[in-house]
Amino acid sequence: MPISFDSEKRIFKLDTATSSYIFEIYEENYLVHLYYGAKIPDSNLSAFRYTGGFASFSPQNINIADGMFSPDINPFEYPGNGAGDFRTSAVAIRNADGNNVTDMRYVSHKIYSGKPSIEGLPALYVENENEASTLEILTEDATTGIQTVLFYTVFENLGAMTRSVKVINNSDKTVEIEKVMSACVDFHTYDYDMLSLYGRWGKERSLERRPLAHGKQLVASKRGSSSHHQNPFAALVENGATEDYGSAYGFNLVYSSNFVFEAEVNQNSGTRVVMGINPENFGWQLKSGEAFNSPEVVMVYTPDGIGEMSRIFHRLYRKHLIRGKWKDIKRPLLINNWEATGMDFTGDQLVTFAERAKELGIDMLVMDDGWFGDRNSDRSGLGDWQVNEEKLGGSLAEFVNKINALGIKFGIWYEPEMISRDSNLYRAHPDWCLHVPNREKSIGRHQYVLDYSRQDVRDYIFGEMYKVLSSCKIDYLKWDFNRNLTEVGSAILPAEQQKEVFHRFVLGTYDVMDRLTKAFPDMLIENCSGGGGRFDPGTLYFSPQIWTSDNTDPIERLTIQFGTSMCYPASTMGAHVSACRRTGYDTKGNVALWGSFGYELDPNKFTEEDKRIVKRQVAEYHKYYDVIHFGDLYRLISPFENHFRAAWEFVSEDKSEALLTCVTMRRHPDRMLIIKLKGLDPDKYYVDEDTDEVYSGALLMNAGICLPNAEHDDGQSFIKYFKAVE
């Protein structure tokens, strides 16, 4: 069993293939954290608990160790608030008597095979009970009677764990949850660098690395989405860790709204990490007998560097996060009209797109924004999900039949959480959007945000969507979200519950996404938020791919895709070839192949040469699909570190195939280019399909491939495919 409990020493040990996680039930039922790191066989770690020394200005629990045990300096599993530990808390509950002292101690536990789901929230899942084991620990604040259940699930073979928390109000009074982190990990030292992903619209998920320093360093969102600006991912890696070397701890929250990741280096130079719902603008009234579930944190540890950390996340998400029909089968290669036409299109025009798509081997046409209501610009129409038959030249079913008759599948765009100020829906229901009394509503892209905390609002939108989606054969839906939340209030909640609206909103979004996936199980859903503004595991639970960025420039995409790959697999990244200014179609295709591939342009404008390239890319898409979508990623040359080139490689699980891509961002002064491959079988021989030369895996990884005349110009690129020979 990967989870064990030594009842004599009262020590829990959670093992994965690569890690051990150890903590104990200490005196007075404190849960003291002892170790998280490379796998170890034993747990003789009591020296890591601090009972020996007196720490000035750190309060003691006089019942323990002659008054020498201070909650302020010990490492804890789930620290509370205001009861002797001054570091950042994991949980703070405002009691009925007005104070928010919270002190959870161990009560009982159970260990079992499998993994429970979390009501109303996305979470990793198992198909067979033997794929994971779970530890549940019940803790209680003896004064208030409030309890928490700490959930730890171990994916033994994948070097990963998940953690989440349920708060239960067993008292007879209403309390307010002010802060509930999904996990806390107390590291004993601070010799780590913190990795995080920052950005903005069109420039999502740039990688940033900083050494930890005393005090707090954090990434967070309070935008009502996981955001373009900071992703709910962070890692602590040992100082000096590289792609291939060193301890790496990755954290990723399965949540699509306000989050926080904090790393606080304390007076003893230990580091407390907490991650969960951002407590700023959060509060939850928990009535007697009610329970509240936190979202879950995914925690990955490897001793083998940042690259391996990413590969563990990728394997885990492909198997235990992505769901439904499109998890394992090939996704349709699509063409989307947005960059070509905006909202200014006709049905006949899109039929010509489908005709060209058919000639080129593309599988599906996606009709983007502008097909409904009075939606001819971004100033109007959101919420009026009735088909604009004038624009399409007939009913949606007639239009889709024309597309399908060409042998092309059809997909459609929606932005279900939004409402235009200029829309029939807003005129009929002005109180259906988020707002607070007597205060003007901020506008974003000329639109307001629907109050998805309300069941009636969600029912109406889902009903309208259902009518359209069931009226004909729709194979794909792009779910967009083009602004963040402001004046976050709901017309139907009492004053004391207004702090719940951010969380209730995202629960509402998940509810509608869930209903959609159940009503249309064969439909592929791609999420989007002005590009990649809601690229997180919560969203991926409902849609196996997400539009990575509105920026389709292949050189800009390099940093976006490298950053995104920190924890998200290639199969989740929507990546399209567009008509953007920089580079030729070759490089656009080579970069977009690293993802769920497609086109975003007017195919009527292709020259004969363009068509030749596109047909080749379509063939490459099919040939390399498995190695990219199911293989292991190796980041070889990072655009965050090298200003001349970027290179990456996919290797199939059985190491029989490898695909290398290299892009020159800026002409390099050296003519000779040597790239050392990674992840191959040293004992296998591989043929380079370009040259028919055969090399051992050992040679390719140690000597590398050598291109003596690689005077590649800005924006040029190449791919190389290696296949094992018998």
Q: Which residues are catalytic?
A: 480, 550
Among the candidate windows 26-34, 527-535, 612-620, 717-725, which touches ligand DGJ by CB under 6 A?
527-535
**Quick one: 509 or 638, whose CB is closer to ligand DGJ?**
509
Site string for ligand DGJ, 226-265 (x = CB under 6 A): ----------------------------------------
Provide the minimum distance between the beta carbon of 599 and ligand DGJ in the complex, in angstroms, as a whole number.
Answer: 13
Q: Which of 530, 595, 639, 715 binds ligand DGJ (CB under 6 A)?
A: 530
* Nearer to ligand DGJ (CB atom), residue 161 or residue 528: 528
Q: Report whether 46 contacts 25 (CB < 8 A).
A: no
Question: Is residue 457 within 8 Å of 404, Cβ to Cβ?
Answer: no
CB of 371 to ligand DGJ, least distance (A): 11
User: Nearest distance from residue 479's CB to ligand DGJ, in Å?
Assistant: 10
Stretch that binds ligand DGJ, among 142-150, 173-181, 523-531, 608-616 (CB under 6 A): 523-531
Structure-block tokens of residue 256: 């699509």
- Binding to ligand DGJ by CB under 6 A, coded x per residue (else -) over 84-103, reads --------------------
Question: Measured at CB, which residue is nearest to ligand DGJ?
Answer: 369
The radius of gyration computed from the CA coordinates of the chain, to the nearest angstrom, equals: 27
531 binds ligand DGJ (CB under 6 A): yes
Q: How far is the CB of 569 from ligand DGJ (least distance, A)?
A: 21
Its sign, for the CA torsion 232, 236, 241, 247, is negative
Chosen residue from 413, 568, 599, 621 binding ligand DGJ by CB under 6 A: 413
**Residues paired with 525 in a beta bridge:** 477
- Judged by beta carbon, residue 24 or residue 480, the one nearer ligand DGJ is 480
CA–CA separation, 86 and 118 (whole Å): 31
Q: For residues 683-702, which are near ligand DGJ according to CB under 6 A?
A: none
DSSP β-bridge partners for residue 253: 297
Q: Give the bridge partners for 364, in sequence order.
A: 334, 409
Q: CB of residue 323 vs ligand DGJ: minimum separation in angstroms? A: 23
Cα distance between residue 691 and residue 361, in whole Å: 27
The one among 149, 185, 367, 528 contacting ligand DGJ by CB under 6 A: 528
Nearest residue (CB) to ligand DGJ, 369 versus 422: 369
Compare residues 426 and 721 and give the one whose CB is closer to ligand DGJ.
Answer: 426
Count residues contacting ligand DGJ (CB under 6 A)? Answer: 11
Closer by beta carbon to ligand DGJ, 250 or else 531: 531
Residue selected from 103, 304, 369, 657 as contacting ligand DGJ according to rule CB under 6 A: 369
Instruction: Specify the residue for token string 């890692």.
Output: 235
Q: Which is nearer to ligand DGJ, 12 or 535 (CB)?
A: 535
Q: Which residues of 607-628 are buried (b: 16+ CB within 10 A; e: fewer)?
A: eeebeebbeebbebbeebbebb
Any residues with CB less than 8 A from the CB of 500 and at least 6 apart, and which? 282, 283, 284, 285, 453, 493
399 or 413: CB nearest ligand DGJ = 413
What angle in degrees, to the nearest 10, is found between the helix axes of 455-469 and 501-519?
30
Residues 477-506 that bind ligand DGJ (CB under 6 A): 480, 482
| CA dist 529 → 573, 642, 683 (Å) | 13, 29, 45
Rounded least distance, CB 549 to ligand DGJ, Å: 8
Q: Which of 479, 547, 634, 648 binds ligand DGJ (CB under 6 A)?
A: 547
Cα 654 to its chain centre, rounded Å, is 27
Asked if 598 interacts with ligand DGJ (CB under 6 A), we say no
| String of DSSP letters for 460-519 | HHHHHHHHHHTSS---EEEE---S---S---TTS-GGGGGGHHHHHHHHHHHHHHHHHHH
Virtual CA dihedral for 568, 570, 571, 577, nearest 10 degrees? 130
Q: Tell the smallest beta-carbon distance from residue 339 to ligand DGJ (Å).
A: 8
Q: How far apart are CA 666 and CA 308, in angstroms?
A: 28
* d(C-alpha 544, C-alpha 322), whole Å: 5
The burial of 206, by beta-carbon neighbours within 10 Å (0-12 exposed, 13-18 middle, 19 or more buried), is given as: middle
Tokens of 338: 């947005």
Distance of closest approach, residue 368 Cβ to ligand DGJ, in angstroms: 5
One character per residue 194-223, x = contact with ligand DGJ (rule: CB under 6 A): ------------------------------
Write the CA distances from 391 to 343, 356, 631, integer angstroms. Answer: 10, 20, 43
Output the smallest distance, CB 540 to ligand DGJ, in A: 17
Residue (of 624, 576, 584) closest to 600 by Cα position: 576
The answer to whether 446 and 375 have CB atoms below 8 angstroms apart is no
Q: How far apart are alpha carbons 692 and 687 in whole angstroms? A: 6
Cβ proximity to ligand DGJ: between 15 and 204 the closer is 204
Binding mask 326-355 for ligand DGJ (x = CB under 6 A): ------------x-----------------
Single out the segment in contact with ligand DGJ by CB under 6 A; choices: 80-88, 346-354, 525-533, 712-720: 525-533
CB of residue 75 vs ligand DGJ: minimum separation in angstroms? Answer: 43
The answer to whether residues 294 and 165 touch, using CB atoms and an 8 Å cutoff, is yes
550 near ligand DGJ, rule: CB under 6 A: yes
For ligand DGJ, the closer of residues 77 and 480 by Cβ is 480
Give me 690's structure tokens: 């370009």
Is the Cβ of residue 531 or residue 639 nearer to ligand DGJ in the bound state?
531
Q: Which of 66, 60, 114, 58 is nearest to 86 (CA)?
A: 58
Strand partners, 479: 414, 527
Nearest approach in angstroms of CB 337 to ligand DGJ is: 10
Instruction: State the binding string over 437-476 for ligand DGJ (x if CB under 6 A, else -).
Output: ----------------------------------------
- Nearest to ligand DGJ of 369, 500 (CB atom): 369
CA 108 remoteness from chain centre:
33
Name the helix (H) or strand (E) containing 206.
Answer: strand 206-211
Buried b (16+ CB within 10 A) or exposed e, 425-459: bbeebeebbbbeeeeebeeeeebbbbbbbbeebbe
CB 404 within 8 A of CB 350: no
407 burial class (0-12, 13-18, 19+ CB within 10 angstroms)? exposed
Range in contact with ligand DGJ (rule: CB under 6 A) among 189-197, 298-306, 312-320, 528-536: 528-536
Q: Is 384 in the site for ligand DGJ (CB under 6 A)?
A: no
Quote the least distance from Cβ 577 to ligand DGJ, whole Å: 14
Cβ closest to ligand DGJ, residue 369 vs residue 657: 369
User: According to CB under 6 A, which one of 178, 368, 384, 556 is a site residue for ligand DGJ?
Assistant: 368
The least CB distance from residue 550 to ligand DGJ, in Å, is: 5
Q: Are 499 and 281 in contact (CB under 8 A)?
A: yes
574 binds ligand DGJ (CB under 6 A): no
Binding site for ligand DGJ (CB under 6 A): 338, 368-369, 413, 480, 482, 528, 530-531, 547, 550
